[in-house]
Amino acid sequence: MLEKLLNELEEVCHHCEGNGYTEVYSEQFLDKVSDLELLYPSYEQALIIARDKYVDEISHKTCPYCNGLKVIPNQNGKILISNKDKVVQFLRKQNLL
């Protein structure tokens, strides 16, 4: 039940798609994607091919939005956070803190 409650306070981070990191492409990688884009019908296809072929040209950076946690607070979680003083006060009254 606690897990269900916590899941209703969080959602998958939209910025990193729940990975906890974002990919950082080197200039050489982006040049290779541009070259591949001439051979494939779309940028997305060229990017997929380049990601498979040039793995060493991609680095990872911790997602600045979720700080690597893979989830962010949803609307309910934000309300809870914005009222954290009241939540702490309630927990103290219940002798939980």
- Per residue in 80-94, pLDDT tens? 899 999 989 988 999
Which element (helix H / strand E) includes 21?
strand 21-25
Residue 9: both structure tokens together: 């306070």
Whole-structure pTM value: 0.67
Cα separation, 56 vs 61, whole angstroms: 14
Over residues 66-85, the pLDDT tens digits come to 999 999 999 989 988 999 99
Q: How many CB atoms lie within 10 A of CB 50?
A: 23
3 confidence band (pLDDT: 50, 70, 90): confident
Report the pLDDT value the prediction gives residue 7, as an integer from 0 to 100: 74
